[in-house]
Amino acid sequence: MKSRILLAVVVLGAIVAWARCYNPRPLPDAVFFLGCFNGAVTDPPIEGKVTVVIETVVIEPGGIAGPITGCIQTVIGLKAQFATLSGSLDPETSQRAVMTAMPAGGDTPFDVLIAREPVGAVKAVEIDVTDAGGAPFTQAANLARCAPVVTCAALAASMRSAPAPVLELP
Amino acid sequence: MTNLEPKPAASAGAPRGWMRGRTFAAVLVAFALAPAAGAQGRADARFFGTYCQPSPQEFCKSIRFLPDPCVTLSGARISLDHLEVPAGGTVRGGGTFRLDGKPGALAVAGSVTGLGRARLAGTIPALGEENMRQQGSATLSSDGIELRASVQNRTVVLRKDACGNDAPVVTLAVPSGPAFAFGQPIFFDGRVVDEDTSFPLERMVFRSSRQSPMPGFLSAAGQTPGFVATGLVPGEHRVTLTVTDSGGLTDRASVRVTIVDRPPETPVIFLPAAGATLAAGAPVLLQGHAHDPDTGFLPDPSLAWSAQVVPGGPFVPIGGGHETTAVFADPADPVVIRLTATSTAGGGQSTAARTVRVVPGGGDAPPVVVIREPDRLTVGGSLVRSYAVTETAHFVASAFDSEDAIGDLDLRWTFIALTGLDGAPDPAPPVPNPDPVTGSLTADVDFPPGGTIFYRVVFEATDSAGQTTSDSIQIVVSSNILL
């Protein structure tokens, strides 16, 4: 009986400890990731383009910037893919965000790491997008801000109206 | 973490415990494991709007000998948007919630895997790096109001109508009608009453029960969506306006309209002239037009020519359009030439006929002539054009002969004052008739002032064998100028 009580106390203590894991805390400000960025796939050296739009920052109650959403379009060779993104800043730094991409059409989700540049700047001038698991490319570095600015809705609409991408042969 | 079981919503003061963050994430974000890779997605625009938790929901861990280790999820509010690409529909959004009274936020991304089904990935940063990302699934009720998000057999129910948002109230009217002539533009006048003062165009959808897509254009401002339909096909249409507000709540209203397709008016045959004598083996020009009361002058595909060369016999197709050329191989008398007009919607026909005779050709075909300008095909009635005496009247004709070149034909324009429209030549016109113009396919004439005078303009061509063919139109020249 004593052992049962002891076990109960231990488990109860563990549960209380788990609960304390859930503790909303101030996060680095994600709004500096907002915007549209595009550029070429840099690794592997293939014909590919990436457009990333970070569009929404869900504001935590209390005014702290929280999770972020957006979308990513990849055109690798003949295949164009569109996925929505959800993620958050790396808790350790305001320079990186980890995002999960959910592609349209039932393709396998993948993760990307987005780092904003230059380091220390308030607003991202460029971003680097790196595969963090399952992405169709390894890295797209130095994606510049889009001109003109594109929203996720506009990016999706452009895919509905645009012809299929054409592979440019060397 | 698999021994958690959902319980009914906790009542105030109910005992509860604490749980690990991973559990909260699993329950709250509630997204199930991904379906088989490569499954083809599809779009479902109902994954749109704001979904809220109707009442607090308690989740407990089943450890028999422990105090109730439960947590209460409340105030969950998630806004979703649906984006469609050729590969299928995608979902994105985010929201807020309270867990045991503590606020939190989440972001959502996803893809539609079927009608009312989506695979989602959620992020809750406050759970820490290890637990913040979860994947699961969601299903929609058939009316799109209820979203059930699930992970590991645990489900959170969210509803659009639990957000304090009133559904829009939509009305639709047609200012006139309900019967409209085919081809007539129809304005559908919609009104919306809602907290939202404006709506994106894609959230105001007009549909016809008979025709999809509904032809026309959307004209919307604020809470007044309108649609001008420009090509509804004949028959009864039930036109529905569906409006979705920013919270995803929807209302619709319908009206019935009937599109009537009236038959064309009796066609007019210009050529050949009534009672004309045509030569067998020689080309004959057929020219005519028809006016549709609903759509105006009919295009070429709506006009068909046929001929009956044996009394009581069948009509043989000989061509189509406003103008066509035919050759009668053998003499026949009488020959009935018929022009059949069919409405562009295919709902009605009307015909005109002209009786001519075809005589043996003398080995030399007569010329074929037609006055081109002013163009009688673009006007109704026998009066082709009105002129003021201050302007120069410009006439253009075309001529063709099988044997002779144009330069070898004797061309002649004459201008004959009439006693009135469709009247006989005036033996004593108020002013002298203009002099004839010869040797040209065109004529520029300054008519003398003399009040209002109807003229028959005649163009003739005579070939080297002395065979003459003519065409004529009626015009009016007026000295009365309104400034």
Stretch 47-86 of chain A: residues touching chain B, C-beta under 8 Å: 56, 58-62, 66-71, 81-86
**In terms of domains, do B181 and B151 share one?**
no
pLDDT for the residue numbered A170: 34
Specify whether the backbone of B296 is left (phi greater than 0), alpha (psi in -120 to 50) or beta. left
Answer yes or no: do B66 and A12 touch at CB < 8 A.
yes
Which segments within chain A are labelled E, that is strand? 35-40, 48-60, 64-76, 79-89, 96-103, 110-117, 126-133, 139-145
Contact assessment for residue B360 and residue B331, using Cβ atoms and an 8 Å cutoff? yes
pLDDT for the residue numbered B65: 58
Asked whether residue A88 is assigned to any structural domain, the reply reads yes
Of B69, B86, B109, the CB nearest to A84: B109
Specify whether the backbone of B309 is left (phi greater than 0), alpha (psi in -120 to 50) or beta. alpha
Answer yes or no: do B109 and A69 touch at CB < 8 A.
yes
What is the CB neighbour count within 10 angstroms for residue B326? 16
CB-CB neighbors (< 8 A) of A107 in chain B: 37-38, 87, 111
**Dist CA B237 CA B222 (whole Å):** 26
**In terms of domains, do B200 and B151 share one?**
no
Nearest to A112 by CA among A138, A93, A94: A138
Instruction: Please give the helix or strand (H or E) that residue B23 lies within, else none.
Output: helix B21-29
pLDDT for the residue numbered B348: 85
| B235: phi then psi, degrees, rounded to nearest 5 | 125, -175
Of B63, B81, B94, the CB nearest to A58: B94
Please name the residue of chain B whose CA is at the shortest distance from the CA of residue A89: B125
Please name the residue of chain A whose CA is at the shortest distance from the CA of residue B65: A8
Asked whether residue B483 is assigned to any structural domain, the reply reads no
- Assign 3-class secondary structure to B361-412: CCCCCCCEEEEEECCHHHCCCCEEEEEECCCCEEEEEEEECCCCCHHHCEEE
DSSP-derived secondary structure letter, A6:
H
pLDDT for the residue numbered A61: 58
Answer yes or no: do B87 and A102 touch at CB < 8 A.
no
pLDDT for the residue numbered B6: 39
CB-CB neighbors (< 8 A) of B111 in chain A: 83-84, 102-107
pLDDT for the residue numbered B118: 93
Give the 3-state secondary structure of residue A165: coil
Contact assessment for residue B231 and residue B183, using Cβ atoms and an 8 Å cutoff? yes
| B255: phi then psi, degrees, rounded to nearest 5 | -135, 155
pLDDT for the residue numbered A58: 72
Given CB atoms, is A153 within the 8 Å cutoff of chain B? yes
pLDDT for the residue numbered B130: 73
Given CB atoms, is A132 within the 8 Å cutoff of chain B? no
Asked whether residue A21 is assigned to any structural domain, the reply reads no
Residue A62 has pLDDT above 70, yes or no: no
**In terms of domains, do B384 and B465 share one?**
yes
Domain hosting A39: range is 30-161
Please name the residue of chain A whose CA is at the shortest distance from the CA of residue B81: A153
The size of the A-B interface in CB pairs under 8 A is 197
**In terms of domains, do B19 and B126 share one?**
yes
Mutate to test the interface with B, among A86, A98, A100, A108 (most CBs of B within 10 A): A86
Asked whether residue A167 is assigned to any structural domain, the reply reads no
Cα–chain-centroid distance for residue B429? 53
Answer yes or no: do B65 and A4 touch at CB < 8 A.
yes
pLDDT for the residue numbered B173: 94
pLDDT for the residue numbered B259: 92
pLDDT for the residue numbered A4: 59
pLDDT for the residue numbered A73: 96
What is the total count of domains within chain B? Answer: 4
ipTM of the modeled complex? 0.78
Instruction: Please give the helix or strand (H or E) that residue A10 lies within, else none.
Output: helix A2-21
Of B63, B93, B129, the CB nearest to A69: B93
Distance from CA of B150 to the nearest CA of A (A): 17
Answer yes or no: do B88 and A19 touch at CB < 8 A.
no
Instruction: Please give the helix or strand (H or E) that residue B4 lies within, else none.
Output: strand B4-7
pLDDT for the residue numbered B295: 81
- Output the average pLDDT for chain A: 77
**In terms of domains, do B145 and B291 share one?**
no
Asked whether residue B57 is assigned to any structural domain, the reply reads yes
Q: What tens digit of pLDDT does each residue of A97-155 get?
A: 889 999 998 778 999 999 988 877 667 788 999 999 999 999 999 999 998 878 998 99
Residue partners of B334: CB distance under 8 A and separation at least 6 = B311, B355, B356, B357
Answer yes or no: do B92 and A83 touch at CB < 8 A.
no
Given CB atoms, is A139 within the 8 Å cutoff of chain B? no
Q: What tens digit of pLDDT does each residue of B262-305 get?
A: 889 999 898 888 788 888 888 888 989 999 888 888 999 999 99
CB-CB neighbors (< 8 A) of B65 in chain A: 4, 8
Q: How far apart are the first and last CA of chain B?
A: 92
**In terms of domains, do B355 and B409 share one?**
no
pLDDT for the residue numbered B170: 96
Distances (CA, A) of A58 to A25, A55, B90: 14, 10, 19
pLDDT for the residue numbered A8: 52
Given CB atoms, is A151 within the 8 Å cutoff of chain B? no
**In terms of domains, do B213 and B175 share one?**
yes
Contact assessment for residue A114 and residue A33, using Cβ atoms and an 8 Å cutoff? yes
Residue B288 is part of a domain; what is its CATH number?
2.60.40.10
Residue A15 has pLDDT above 50, yes or no: no
pLDDT for the residue numbered B165: 86
Given CB atoms, is A134 within the 8 Å cutoff of chain B? no
Answer yes or no: do B103 and A56 touch at CB < 8 A.
no
Last residue of a domain, one of B112, B133, B162: B162
Contact assessment for residue B91 and residue B80, using Cβ atoms and an 8 Å cutoff? yes
Cα–chain-centroid distance for residue A85? 5
Lowest mean pLDDT: which of A12-16, A88-92, B120-124? A12-16
DSSP bridge partners of B259: B180, B235
DSSP symbols for A115-135: EEESTT-SS-SEEEEEEEES-
Preceding omega of B334 cis (within 30 degrees of 0):
yes
Distances (CA, A) of A89 to B28, B94, B182: 20, 15, 60
Of A16, A82, A100, the CB nearest to B133: A100
A35-47: average pLDDT: 92
Q: Read off the amino acid at residue A66.
A: G
**In terms of domains, do B8 and B142 share one?**
yes
Specify whether the backbone of B230 is left (phi greater than 0), alpha (psi in -120 to 50) or beta. alpha
Distance from CA of B18 to the nearest CA of A (A): 5
Given the structure tokens 């253009």, which residue do they identify? B396
A34-43: average pLDDT: 92
Domain hosting B27: range is 4-162
**In terms of domains, do B203 and B253 share one?**
yes
**Dist CA A135 CA A141 (whole Å):** 14
Distances (CA, A) of B228 to B157, B231, B258: 41, 9, 15
CB-CB neighbors (< 8 A) of A104 in chain B: 41, 84-85, 87-90, 111-112
Asked whether residue A8 is assigned to any structural domain, the reply reads no
**In terms of domains, do B379 and B355 share one?**
no
Distances (CA, A) of B46 to A75, A109, B28: 28, 22, 21
Distance from CA of A143 to the nearest CA of B (A): 22
What is the total count of domains within chain A? Answer: 1
Last residue of a domain, one of B260, B284, B304: B260
DSSP symbols for B225-287: EEEEE--PPSEEEEEEEEEE-TTS-EEEEEEEEEEE-PPPPPPEEEESPTT-EEETTSEEEEE
**In terms of domains, do B378 and B446 share one?**
yes
Confidence grade of residue A64 (pLDDT, cut at 50, 70, 90): low
What is the CB neighbour count within 10 angstroms for residue B403? 15
**In terms of domains, do B11 and B141 share one?**
yes
Residue partners of B10: CB distance under 8 A and separation at least 6 = B16, B56, B57, B58, B70, B72
**Which strand ranges, in their side-by-side order, compose the sheet holding B332-342?**
B277-279, B349-359, B332-342, B303-308, B316-320
Contact assessment for residue B395 and residue B445, using Cβ atoms and an 8 Å cutoff? yes
What is chain B's percent helix, strand, coil content, to nearest 5?
Answer: 5, 50, 45
Per-residue pLDDT of chain B (483 residues; tens, 9 = 90+): 333 333 333 333 333 333 344 444 434 443 322 233 333 448 888 898 899 999 998 877 655 555 557 888 899 999 999 999 989 999 999 888 888 888 888 899 999 998 899 999 998 877 777 777 888 999 999 888 999 998 767 789 999 989 988 889 999 999 887 999 888 889 999 999 998 888 888 889 999 999 988 999 888 888 899 999 988 999 999 999 999 998 888 899 999 999 988 889 999 898 888 788 888 888 888 989 999 888 888 999 999 999 999 999 999 999 999 989 888 989 999 999 999 999 887 778 999 999 998 988 777 778 888 898 898 888 877 899 999 988 999 999 988 887 888 889 999 999 999 999 999 999 999 999 999 999 999 999 999 998 899 999 999 999 998 888 889 999 999 987 654
CB-CB neighbors (< 8 A) of A28 in chain B: none
Last residue of a domain, one of B105, B127, B162: B162
Given the structure tokens 């030569």, which residue do they identify? B279
